[in-house]
C-alpha cells in the first residue's frame, strides 16, 4: 500500500497523517551517550558498580572522546527527528590534569558543548554516583561517612553549575537527572537513616542557586539493583515525595519498578500533579536489564499516554540502555527509531473517538476499533516520515560498512 492509500485509510478513521508526521519531526529525544562505550566514561577506569552491568564484548567500543563523538555522529546520521545528547558526568574531558568529581567545572565539558552547538542540539546531564573509589559500601549521598556524603554533595552542586552552562551555551533547557545506586543486599536494620541522609544531601545540593528556566532537576527512583536486592534508598515513594516537596521534576525509568508495574499506567497520575515529568525509556527483561528499546507494547503504551494527554511539551523523553553483545551503533539507532515509531503510532490514533467510546460505555466498539488500528497501514506512514527526513530505511548496511572501515580497526 502506498502512502496516499494509507493516508486515505487513516483519514476515514479521523486521523491526519501529514499532521502526525510534522508533529513527530519536532519531538526531541535525548540520546544517551553511554551506549557507545559500555558506560565506561573518561574520568577514571573503575569497574562498573552500583548495580550496573554491561554484558557482551562486541568489537569496536569507543575508547576516547574522539571515537565516541564519531560514533555518535554516525548513529545520529541514521536517526530521523530532533535530538538532544544526554551526558553523564563521567564523560568529562580533561585537557590537562584530571580533577575529582567533586571539583568538576564547565570547562571540562567545553568540547561536548562545542560538539552540540555545531550540530544544533541541546544537552542533558547526569551526575555520576557510581564506578568511583568514593562510593563506600555501596553508599554515596546517603553514606553515614560524612566525608563520603559531602564529596557527593559537592559533586551534585558542581553538576548543577555545569547543567546551567549547557543550557546557556546551547539555548536549550538542560534536564539534570539525579539517580543514586545506594542500598543494601540484605534486610537493613535502619531504613530511615539512609533516607534521612539522602534527603539532607538533596536539600544541600538544591540550595545552590540555579536558573530554573534553564535547568530542570529530576529525581529518579529504583526498586532494586545487583547486590542491592533488599533495599534501595531512592525508592519510588521517596523520590516522588521529595520531588513534590522540593518542586523538582519526577523521572521514571521503566526498568526501575517491579516487573508487574507499568510506567505507562503511571504517566497520567504524574501529569495531574506536575508541570513536567521525565522518562528514561528502556526495555527491562525480567529486571532492570537495559536492553535495546524495541517497538513493543509498553513502549507504544508509554507514547500513547504522552500523546493522548496532549503532553508532548510536558514530558522530557530520553533513552537509557546499553548492549555490548551487538553492534553498539545499530543498538543506538534501533532504540531511537523504536521510540519514534511508538510516538508516530500514538499520533495516528483517533484519540477523541476512542475517548468518546469509553465515556459512552461503548466498550465493544472500543475493543473492535483498537484492534483494527493494530493492522492499519502504519508502516507506509513511517516510510513517508523517513523519506521526508531524508533518512534511509535500511541502516544496517551503513552500520556494517562503518564497522568494517572504522570499528574493527580499533
Q: Is 179 a catalytic residue?
A: yes
Q: Is 161 a catalytic residue?
A: no
Residue 96 dihedral angles phi and psi, to the nearest 5°: -115, -130
Catalytic residue selected from 7, 155, 256, 300 = 256
* Tally of CB atoms within 10 A around 200: 14
Catalytic residue selected from 71, 169, 220, 298 = 220
Q: Is 398 a catalytic residue?
A: no
Catalytic residue selected from 108, 132, 280, 341 = 280
Q: Classify the C-alpha dihedral 113-119-125-131 as positive or negative.
A: negative
Q: Is 137 a catalytic residue?
A: no
Catalytic residue selected from 132, 157, 222, 341 = 222
Cell 590537562 belongs to 96
Catalytic residue selected from 37, 43, 182, 290 = 290
SS3 11: helix
Residues 102 and 333: their CA atoms lie apart, in Å, by 33
Q: Is 332 a catalytic residue?
A: no
**Which residues are 30's β-sheet partners?**
84, 318
Catalytic residue selected from 37, 38, 43, 320 = 320
SS3 47: coil
Catalytic residue selected from 34, 179, 332, 382 = 179
Cell numbers found for residue 346: 500514538
Distances (CA, A) of 128 to 67, 203, 321: 21, 18, 16
Q: Is 310 a catalytic residue?
A: no
Residue 291 dihedral angles phi and psi, to the nearest 5°: -75, 160
Q: Residue 384: CB partners within 8 Å, gap ≥ 6?
A: 3, 6, 17, 21
Catalytic residue selected from 71, 164, 288, 305 = 288
Q: Is 253 a catalytic residue?
A: yes
Residues 177 and 89: their CA atoms lie apart, in Å, by 11
Q: Is 83 a catalytic residue?
A: no
Residues 179 and 193: their CA atoms lie apart, in Å, by 18
> Using an 8 Å Cβ cutoff, are 325 and 55 in contact?
yes
Residues 143 and 341: their CA atoms lie apart, in Å, by 42
CA 39 to chain centre: 14
- Of 351, 389, 309, the closest CA to residue 24 belongs to 389
Please state whether beta strands 249-253 and 315-319 pair in parallel, antiparallel, or not at all (unpaired): unpaired
State the Cα angle at 188 between 187 and 191, rounded to 5°: 125
Residues 221 and 252: their CA atoms lie apart, in Å, by 7
Catalytic residue selected from 43, 124, 169, 253 = 253
Q: Is 222 a catalytic residue?
A: yes
Catalytic residues: 179, 220, 222, 253, 256, 280, 288, 290, 320
Amino acid at each position: 500500500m502506498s502512502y496516499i492509500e494509507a493516508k486515505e485509510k487513516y483519514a476515514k478513521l479521523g486521523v491526519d497523517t501529514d499532521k502526525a508526521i510534522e508533529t513527530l519531526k519536532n519531538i526531541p529525544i535525548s540520546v544517551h551517550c553511554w551506549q557507545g562505550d559500555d558506560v565506561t566514561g573518561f574520568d577514571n577506569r573503575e569497574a562498573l558498580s552500583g548495580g550496573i552491568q554491561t554484558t557482551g564484548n562486541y568489537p569496536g567500543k569507543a575508547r576516547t572522546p574522539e571515537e565516541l563523538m564519531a560514533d555518535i555522529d554516525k548513529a545520529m546520521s541514521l536517526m530521523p527527528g530532533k535530538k538532544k545528547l544526554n551526558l553523564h558526568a563521567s564523560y568529562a574531558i580533561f585537557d590537562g590534569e584530571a580533577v575529582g568529581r567533586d571539583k568538576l567545572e564547565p570547562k571540562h565539558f567545553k568540547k561536548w558543548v562545542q560538539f552540540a552547538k555545531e550540530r544544533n542540539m541541546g544537552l542533558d546531564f547526569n551526575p555520576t554516583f557510581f564506578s568511583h573509589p568514593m562510593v563506600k559500601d555501596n553508599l554515596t549521598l546517603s553514606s553515614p561517612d560524612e566525608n563520603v556524603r559531602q564529596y557527593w554533595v559537592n559533586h551534585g552542586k558542581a553538576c548543577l553549575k555545569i547543567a546551567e552552562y549547557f543550557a546557556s551555551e546551547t539555548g536549550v533547557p538542560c534536564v539534570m537527572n539525579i539517580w543514586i545506586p545506594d542500598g543494601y543486599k540484605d534486610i537493613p536494620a535502619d531504613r530511615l537513616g539512609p533516607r534521612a541522609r539522602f534527603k539532607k544531601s538533596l536539600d544541600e545540593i538544591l540550595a545552590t542557586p540555579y536558573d530554573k528556566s534553564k535547568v530542570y532537576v529530576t529525581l529518579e527512583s529504583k526498586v532494586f539493583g545487583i547486590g542491592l536486592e533488599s533495599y534501595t534508598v531512592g525508592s519510588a515513594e521517596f523520590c516522588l515525595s521529595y520531588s513534590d516537596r522540593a518542586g523538582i521534576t519526577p523521572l521514571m525509568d521503566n526498568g526501575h519498578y517491579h516487573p508487574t508495574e507499568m510506567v505507562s499506567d503511571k504517566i497520567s497520575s504524574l501529569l495531574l500533579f506536575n508541570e513536567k515529568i521525565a522518562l528514561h525509556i528502556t526495555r527491562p527483561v525480567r529486571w532492570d536489564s537495559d536492553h535495546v528499546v524495541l517497538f513493543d507494547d509498553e513502549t507504544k503504551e508509554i507514547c500513547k499516554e504522552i500523546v493522548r494527554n496532549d503532553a508532548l511539551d510536558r514530558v522530557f523523553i530520553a533513552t537509557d540502555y546499553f548492549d555490548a553483545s551487538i553492534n553498539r551503533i545499530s543498538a543506538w539507532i534501533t532504540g531511537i527509531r523504536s521510540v519514534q515509531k511508538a510516538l508516530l503510532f500514538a499520533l495516528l490514533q483517533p484519540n477523541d473517538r476512542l475517548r468518546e467510546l469509553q465515556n459512552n460505555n461503548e466498550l465493544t466498539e472500543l475493543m473492535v476499533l483498537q484492534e483494527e488500528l493494530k493492522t492499519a497501514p502504519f508502516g507506509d506512514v513511517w516510510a513517508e516520515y523517513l523519506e521526508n527526513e531524508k533518512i534511509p530505511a535500511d541502516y544496517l548496511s551503513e552500520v556494517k560498512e562503518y564497522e568494517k572501515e572504522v570499528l574493527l580497526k580499533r
